[in-house]
Amino acid sequence: MPNLKVETFKISDLSTYHKNPRRGDVDAIAESLKARGQYRPIVVNIGTHASHDYEILAGNHTYLAAKKLGWKTIQATTVDVDDDQAAQIVLADNRLADLGGYDDETLSALLSDVSSLDGLGWSQDDVDELAAALEPERDDSEVEDVEVPDDAPQRVKRGEIWVLGEHRLMCGDSTKPEDMRKLLGGGGGRSVADGPAL
């Protein structure tokens, strides 16, 4: 088992793999690097036994993103392999990630837990679509319509507010500033959901 050591290399001393089949989203990776820096090293082939030296076998697009951001150095681990082994590493690194998948429930929970989606490659629309896909389908065929008599007593009064954890629910009119002030308690909110009056 090789003893992998992380080293700092000048960006100008390295080159991308000459036959890299992968096409990555350099802009998205650059956003990630801006948001949280480099959190794993790229892999560089020293190339003593290969036709190209100091060539990147894993992390080509991270390197390109760092270069685009104007970085002068990058962290890397090294191998010293021949051309055939270098090609095998490139192919394995690109393909093995493709073979995996996601546990959608765990992914949805994790995306909901993080404080920011900046630089993650996920948009709020992605998060919303995933959450919607996980919602169980309702079978309305077994739901009976209930007729409410016109003279039924109202249990909710206009202006009432319920505090549900960090959320607030009000029977009011979102088009009326006084109702919104009352609901928000003089503060602000991250989002407001309203529905049509019944």
Distance CA 181, CA 178 (A): 5
List the domain boundaries for the chain.
Answer: 7-98, 155-185
128-149 per-position pLDDT tens digit: 999 888 888 777 666 677 787 8
Please count the helices (runs of H) and the strands (runs of E) in the chain. 6, 7
- pLDDT of amino acid 184: 81
Listed residue (29, 49, 45) closest to 37, CA to CA: 29
Coil, helix or strand at residue 101: coil
pTM of the predicted structure, to 2 decimals: 0.66
5-38 per-position pLDDT tens digit: 999 999 999 999 999 999 999 999 999 999 999 9
The two three-digit tokens of residue 191, written as one number: 């989002």
Helix (H) or strand (E) holding 24: none
Give the pLDDT band of residue 172 (cuts 50, 70, 90): confident
Q: Say what percent of the chain tops pLDDT 90.
A: 55
- Judge: domain 7-98, CATH 3.90.1530.10: yes
The two three-digit tokens of residue 2, written as one number: 């090789």
